[in-house]
Structure 1
């Protein structure tokens, strides 16, 4: 083989590999409405598998508001090269849009090893409103595990981010921000690892007018909370569950 043919062969191989990688990447499901959401992500814990999520909007019966309604939710795990998902989950009217609406849908494939043999994955749903004076922005995390051909939620609607408040449109008002992270504990309950949730909270109050407007910021110390599995799901303390 000449040097030229070797280079051509290498180039062809590189193109083929790139094409194969592109082909292997998952593609989100098709959506039919402007308010629908669809996402897809490769699952690093299980090479060759990908996760797909889809939220399909339906306007509430009798409502004159186009954005008032409910979302049906579909979730699936797909094996490369197979047309039929290997595991699925479906929930009618999983999310409501009524003043506060679904804004973003993402997949979380962090290392949620709830048992030595089971790796959970997360679905993060972000909800917002359109109010300038009373803003609300929150993100919820739900964890799922695969059980045969079924995907089961084991942690539901944990509030991992929230921003909200009230102000007069000029200066005076109060806002608060909460962020939470999730870690796997060394302890366990009913066979599932406990979860360590760390909460950070920041509050801002504003007083004055015009150039005299001043902000006062308070940051609370991080607080750790243990979530334990009760045999069906992780139990959330009051205030930890999203809307």
Structure 2
């Protein structure tokens, strides 16, 4: 469940979200700032535990970008205290985009026989009609004692963008990625297999003579390997 400025957030993200993201019965923290966001979800892999995320908006001023500080925690459903926490200042940087939604991903990220990760997905967009940009980033966290630790940083699982004249002429692209666990491992953590689907569309002409040409590229498989601290992302896979 998500709360933004005391109001329910946007509709659930589109089909590129993988299974395990039904809303839970928990109650998100009520945030004080109008742009703050809070999310919570019961963790199916560990009955009795709830994952909580609080994102606090920090205005950047005249010479700096706006950001969000991120606080994550895991709590017992029937208890008010937190059993594991993580804090990251300026976790989300708003460089020409706005944060539209945060969601919790509790798919089966079983990285070792006894370690499961959970995901936080950030949906960003610039709201532009002529130069649109939409992006969804996935980060994974594991619980280690009383701490939560990030192991995957801002993998771009969806991106849409382009530029056009508002009538016909222009170019657009769309990239979507899915994540699966590999049978191989690195430094004890399962490798991640990322499948990338890409399309590009170009438009030419005017009015009824406008023609679109869409190219769908062959899916590409990429293996992400853990280096002892986090999964290494190739160039172009990581969000800002």
| Coarse TM-score class (shorter-chain normalised) | 0.7 to 0.9
Q: 1:219 aligns with which of 209, 216, 222?
A: 216
Structure 1: gaps (5+ residues): 1-23
Look up the match of 1:33: 33
Are 1:60 and 2:60 matched, yes or no?
Answer: yes
Looking at structure 1, the residues matched to 192 and 94 of structure 2 have their Cα atoms a distance apart, in angstroms, of 30
Q: Which has the higher helix share?
A: 1
Are 1:154 and 2:151 matched, yes or no?
Answer: yes
Kindly report the root-mean-square deviation, in angstroms, between the aligned alpha carbons of the 2 structures: 1.4
Looking at structure 1, the residues matched to 224 and 97 of structure 2 have their Cα atoms a distance apart, in angstroms, of 27
1:39 positional shift: 0.8
Looking at structure 1, the residues matched to 58 and 214 of structure 2 have their Cα atoms a distance apart, in angstroms, of 41
Are 1:70 and 2:67 matched, yes or no?
Answer: yes
Looking at structure 1, the residues matched to 100 and 84 of structure 2 have their Cα atoms a distance apart, in angstroms, of 26
1:97-112 equivalent positions in 2, closer than 5 A: 97-112=94-109
Structure 2: gaps (5+ residues): 1-23
Look up the match of 2:239: 242
**Segment of structure 1 superposing worse, 227-236 or 28-37:** 28-37
Q: Secondary structure of the residue that 1:137 maps to in structure 2?
A: strand
Residues matched between the structures, number: 217
Q: 1:194 aligns with which of 187, 191, 194?
A: 191
Look up the match of 2:78: 81
1:36 positional shift: 1.1
Looking at structure 2, the residues matched to 80 and 221 of structure 1 have their Cα atoms a distance apart, in angstroms, of 45
Looking at structure 2, the residues matched to 62 and 235 of structure 1 have their Cα atoms a distance apart, in angstroms, of 34
Are 1:122 and 2:88 matched, yes or no?
Answer: no
Give the number of the structure with larger relative contact order, counting CA–CA contacts within 8 Å between residues 6 or more apart: 2
Look up the match of 1:179: 176
Look up the match of 2:19: none
Looking at structure 2, the residues matched to 224 and 97 of structure 1 have their Cα atoms a distance apart, in angstroms, of 29
1:62 positional shift: 4.2
Give the TM-score taking structure 1 as reference length. 0.86
Give the TM-score taking structure 2 as reference length. 0.87
Higher Cα Rg, which structure = 1
